Amino acid sequence: MRPAPPPAALDLNADLGEGCADEALILPWISSANIACGGHTGDAASMRASIARALEHSVAVGAHPSYADPAHFGRQPQAVTPAMLAALCGELARQLQDFQRAAQREGARPRHVKPHGALYNQAAQDPGLIELLLALLPREAPGLALVALARSPLAQAARRAGLPVREEGFADRRYTAAATLVPRSEPRAVLEALDEGVAQGLALARGEPLQAQDGSALRLRIDTLCVHGDGLAALPLVRALHESLRAAGLAVRAPD
């Protein structure tokens, strides 16, 4: 079977509102921004400021909720227990409400929800977290697309439940052969060389194979491509990716 042809346009997103000094310089090169909403970092003022800057560049905005764990920037995995899920449900509801309130005050229409860090990676696979998100999002963020790891159980379950889903690929993270992200605790989990990030981003955008951690070929279908806004090379990478996508005939555009 031949692979599906690449899309005519691709969403290019970055995680913002996280204190990155280059945020204002990143915005002209992306089409969607995931705004930290008070779990790993951020508050009402930072949300409003990031949303306002995004609007100036016609960049779509979405919520970037996380575990309430600023000490570890939301990147510390949590033990998933009934008590933890009950507390997390209330915490995520608060973050989503705070984000939507900030968006309303800036006159922005939120488009999506993308979990952050350890929550993103654990929810991609964990049945309890998947169930929580599939119940929470229609209630607290109706109509907003869920941004989820491409080919993950979360993305598949959300589609079956009728939620709008954007399957996401990462230009600056290495993959396992099982299509999960290599944990940041392992060597070379983050692609730091500009040429590596651009090559992987283009492969993902075109539906071409990329090299997984074990050397095998991995092919993913994606709707949106991410560059982490807090990375040291975020600005040159996102600019190079934007230019490379355009040169490859792909418009950089957020979904409607």
pLDDT, position 19: 83
Q: Counting Cβ atoms within 10 Å, is residue 107 exposed (0-12), middle (13-18) or buried (19+)?
A: exposed
Q: Each residue of 85-119: pLDDT tens digit?
A: 999 999 999 999 999 999 999 999 999 999 999 99
Residue 179, phi-psi category: left (phi > 0), alpha (psi -120 to 50), beta (remainder) = left
pLDDT tens for residues 204-218? 999 999 999 999 999
| C-alpha angle 236-62-43 in degrees, rounded to nearest 5 | 90
Task: Report pLDDT digits (tens) over 171-197.
Answer: 999 999 999 999 988 988 999 899 999
What does the pLDDT read at residue 2? Answer: 45
State the pLDDT at residue 91.
98
Global pTM? 0.94
- Tokens 């074990």 sit at which residue? 214
Contacts of 102 (CB under 8 A, 6+ apart): 37, 44, 47, 48, 51
Contacts of 231 (CB under 8 A, 6+ apart): 172, 190, 237
Instruction: Report the largest interatomic distance among the alpha carbons of the chain, rounded to a whole angstrom.
Output: 51
Cβ burial, residue 57 (10 Å; 0-12/13-18/19+): middle
The string of pLDDT tens digits covering residues 129-140 is 999 999 999 999
**Token pair 């090379």 is at which residue?**
233
Reported confidence tier of residue 43, pLDDT bands at 50, 70, 90: very high
Please compute the mean of the pLDDT values over residues 40-63 and round it to a whole number.
97
Rounded to whole angstroms, how far apart are CA atoms 140 and 37?
A: 14
